[in-house]
Amino acid sequence: MTPHRKCLVLGILLSLLLPVAVAFAVTPDEMLSDPKLESRARVISQELRCVVCPNQSIDDSNAPLAKDLRVLIRDRLKAGDSNAQAIDFVVERYGNFVLLKPPFQLNTLLLWLAPALLAIIVLFQLMRFLRRQQSLPASEGFDSVEAESRDELSADETKRLREILEKGPTS
Amino acid sequence: MSRWAAVGPVMIFAVVALAFGFALRLDPHKLPSMLIDKPPPRFSLPPVEGTSAPLDSSKLQGQVMLLNIYASWCPGCRLEHPTLMRIAREKVVPLYGLNWKDKPGQGGRWLRQYQNPYIAVGDDPSGRAGIEMGVTGVPETFVIDTAGRIRYRHAGPVTEEVWQEVFVPLLASLGVKS
């Protein structure tokens, strides 16, 4: 391989890494000089939904409103807000909808408890099924030889089958 | 058990189909405003270039009125503009404007080009007053009642059709003939 081609291959390989580096939308001009505040702002913006493009957080989104909200969050933090206060500020204006992790409250009870509820129902049904399996006589059990043998043809049926195969279906 | 095996999947399908069918009718972009039955948040904006009256949120009370959020870069605003002009011409309800996130001069140029339907129109280049109002995009139109409380937020252009279907009945319930 010529050095030229080596460079090309290396370039292509490096370009594969690029998308990872630009996965968030924060631009340098909006970053805070205090790294502590900046990292808190990043955490908060990852929890807030972009209202223009609802499947992205404002940290991911390139929408102008998402940028405004990122800057707003940073302004709140600079003014001395706690993380919760900064998040509340946005929720007061846009509602719980902007929280990517919904709060645990009365109207979200079903949302939060449904998985546990389903698991309990499934476990209960499974237990009932297993218990019935045990109480059934062996001949009706799931894995008994007799049950399988019932699927086989009786001597009579075998005889009729052979007749049909030889002569064709007459009667 | 065997009856369950037959009916169960059908029932589960029916429930899931019903839930999905219902969810299809929901518009995920139609967020309820947090401001319903509340007064508008406090903001005070300078007039848009070329107009004289500033927009102070404390003035948004005393009668039923509309607050329209627009921007020169917004196609929907162009679409609703004739309806807004008619409302202003026929003096149906007072119409206030908020020019959201426009570059300097653009909001004023828009009003000179297409005429100005607003009694007062505030300039909000940073978009902060809009964020206070929970604005998610333009155009949006808020209906404010005599007590100065926001009664309705319409996201999207107010076309003649929308006006007849949504605003006329709502304004009638607030005691405004339109």
Domain limits for position B168: 31-173
Beta-carbon separation of B28 and A54 below 8 A: yes
Which neighbouring-strand residues pair with B99?
Answer: B70, B123
Distance CA B146, CA B144 (A): 7
**Amino acid type, A115:** P
Residue B71 inside a domain? The answer is: yes
Selected residue with higher pLDDT from B86 and A163: B86
Distance CA B56, CA A150 (A): 87
Strand, coil or helix: what is B45? strand
Q: Give how many domains chain B has, as a whole number.
A: 1
Domain ranges of chain A: 3-103, 107-167
Beta-carbon separation of B131 and A64 below 8 A: no
**pLDDT for position A52:** 86
Indicate the angle between helix axes A64-78 and A35-47, nearest 10 degrees: 130
Give the chain A residue whose CA is nearest to the CA of B36. A93
- Give tens-digit pLDDT for B48-84: 999 999 999 998 999 999 999 999 999 999 999 999 9
Give, as one character, the DSSP assignment of residue B46. Answer: P
How many angstroms from the chain centroid is the CA of residue B135? Answer: 8
CB of B128 less than 8 A from some CB of A: yes
Percent helix, strand, coil in chain B, to 5, is: 40, 20, 45
pLDDT of B172 above 80: yes
| Min Cα–Cα distance to chain B from A56, Å | 14
- Give tens-digit pLDDT for B109-159: 999 999 999 999 999 999 999 999 999 999 999 999 999 999 999 999 999
Best mutation site among A68, A73, A98 for testing chain B: the one with the most B CBs within 10 Å? A68
- Give tens-digit pLDDT for B2-21: 677 888 899 999 999 999 99
Helix (H) or strand (E) holding B142: strand B140-144
Best mutation site among A65, A97, A107, A132 for testing chain B: the one with the most B CBs within 10 Å? A65
Beta-carbon separation of A69 and B32 below 8 A: no
Residue whose pair of structure tokens reads 């099924």 in the numeric block: A129
Question: Residue B21, CB half-sphere, CA atoms under 13 Å: how many?
Answer: 6
Q: Supply the CATH classification number for the domain A3-103.
A: 1.10.8.640
CATH number at residue B42: 3.40.30.10
Beta-carbon separation of A93 and B131 below 8 A: yes
Residue B156 inside a domain? The answer is: yes
Q: Which chain A residues are within 8 Å of B133, Cβ to Cβ?
A: 93
User: For residue A111, what are the CA distances in angstroms to B12, B79, B135?
Assistant: 18, 40, 27
**CB pairs < 8 Å spanning A and B:** 37
Residue B17 inside a domain? The answer is: no
